[in-house]
A = this chain, B = another copy of it.
Amino acid sequence: MNEGSHHTEPKRRGRRTGGEDTKAALLAAAREVFVQRGYEGATVRSIAARAGVDAAMVNHWFGGKEALFAKAVLQVPIDPNALVERLLDGPDEEIGERIVRNFIGIWDPIGGGQFAAMVRSVTSHDQVAEVLRGFFVQTLLKRIVTHLGAPDGELRATLAASQIFGMGMVRYVVRFEPFASADVDTMVKAIAPTLQRYLTGDLG
């Protein structure tokens, strides 16, 4: 809803001459600081200081630390906070379906190249894997399993992550057919029950 504000011109300050410069400086600073300090240790203040801009610019241009991380490190145009809200908005017993629909809804239009680039960056740099771990656990998964409230929440969250990662690998990277071209309803029927069981069901 407040996405529109991202396109207004910010106040010019210091040596920065425009919003695009500020954004670029924040993205470059964020990549460095996240990798150096990990997801939790990288504060909005420290990233803004590295970029030489005011900390308020992070919220102004990216909507917060989570979205800056997604854009700078994962290099995907996703706002993780908004995503978590969408995933939690509905009956708990349908969260598996919402995850599949949102995942495919986000990534099908972006295409395989960006998913492959994200995976490549994770597999090439241990620090990226480390910071991704912090991000996923602290931001996405912990919020979801805390909301759902089933026991062994961390195991459940990482089990769900395994099916979600694998869905991306097979659909966008190795592109095994018929999986890669299956319509979203087929994906939901097949995969939503897996995610639902991992998050709220009986793990044996």
Contact = CB atoms under 8 A, between A and B. Distances in A.
Interface stretch (A17-25, A37-45, A81-89, A119-127): A119-127
Interface stretch (A5-13, A26-34, A143-151, A153-161): A153-161
A37 to B, nearest CB: 18
A174 interface: yes
A75 interface: no
A197 B133 CA distance: 29
Contact of A154 (B164, B174, B178, B194): B178
Interface stretch (A51-59, A63-71, A185-193): A185-193
B129 A119 contact: no
Nearest to A198: B190
Contacts of A198: 190
Q: How many copies does the complex hold?
A: 2
By secondary structure, the A interface counts as: helix
Contacts of A191: 159, 162
A197 B193 contact: yes
A204 B194 contact: no
Contact of A155 (B155, B166, B179): B179
22 contacts: A116-B123, A117-B123, A119-B169, A120-B120, A120-B123, A120-B124, A122-B173, A122-B174, A129-B174, A136-B176, A155-B178, A155-B182, A158-B170, A158-B176, A162-B163, A162-B166, A162-B171, A162-B191, A163-B163, A165-B169, A166-B169, A190-B204
Interface of A: 116-117, 119-120, 122-124, 129, 132-133, 136-137, 154-155, 157-159, 161-167, 169-171, 173-180, 182, 186, 189-191, 193-194, 197-198, 203-204
